[in-house]
């Protein structure tokens, strides 16, 4: 039985106004069911989105903690390098002072 013949049977039993009223009821129920379905899907999407955002935040926080840890290591390493640089600068300037003193001492010996 096709759609058209079912509609004809309904028109015979219910009349034109009855069929129109029935179609309005069916259409209203279809619309309400669709709205309910979209509401359920929206709630599921919101919940899933919140879960994924929470996971992403935790992951980002963990990565930021790793970066800060690496920065701390680099700072400690740079402080050690700074101490080495100061040590070598001191050795350089002392050796330059000794070399200059030797040159001046040698010049003063020849000048007398």
Residue 2 has phi, psi (to 5 degrees) of -80, 175
Q: Which residues contact 19 (CB under 8 A, 6 or more apart)?
A: 7, 10, 11
Tens of pLDDT, residue by residue over 50-81, are: 999 999 999 999 999 999 999 999 999 998 89
For residue 6, what pLDDT is reported? 80
CA distances to 94, 107, 109, 112 from 102, rounded to whole Å, are 12, 9, 10, 16
For residue 10, what pLDDT is reported? 82
> 2 in helix, strand or coil?
coil
- For the chain, which ranges sit under pLDDT 70? 1-4
Q: Which residues contact 22 (CB under 8 A, 6 or more apart)?
A: 10, 14
What's the pTM value of the predicted model, to 2 decimals? 0.51
* Domains in the chain: boundaries: 1-79
For residue 5, what pLDDT is reported? 81
């Amino acid at each position: 039985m096709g759609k058209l013949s079912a509609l004809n049977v309904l028109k015979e039993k219910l009349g034109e106004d009855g069929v129109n009223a029935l179609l309005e009821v069916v259409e209203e129920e279809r619309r309400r069911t669709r709205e309910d379905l979209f509401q359920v899907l929206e709630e599921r999407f919101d919940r899933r989105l919140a879960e994924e955002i929470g996971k992403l935040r935790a992951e980002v926080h963990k990565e930021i903690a790793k970066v800060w840890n690496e920065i701390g290591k680099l700072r400690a390493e740079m402080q050690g390098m700074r101490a080495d640089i100061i040590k070598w600068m001191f050795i350089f300037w002392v050796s330059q002072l000794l070399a200059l003193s030797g040159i001046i001492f040698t010049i003063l010996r020849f000048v007398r």
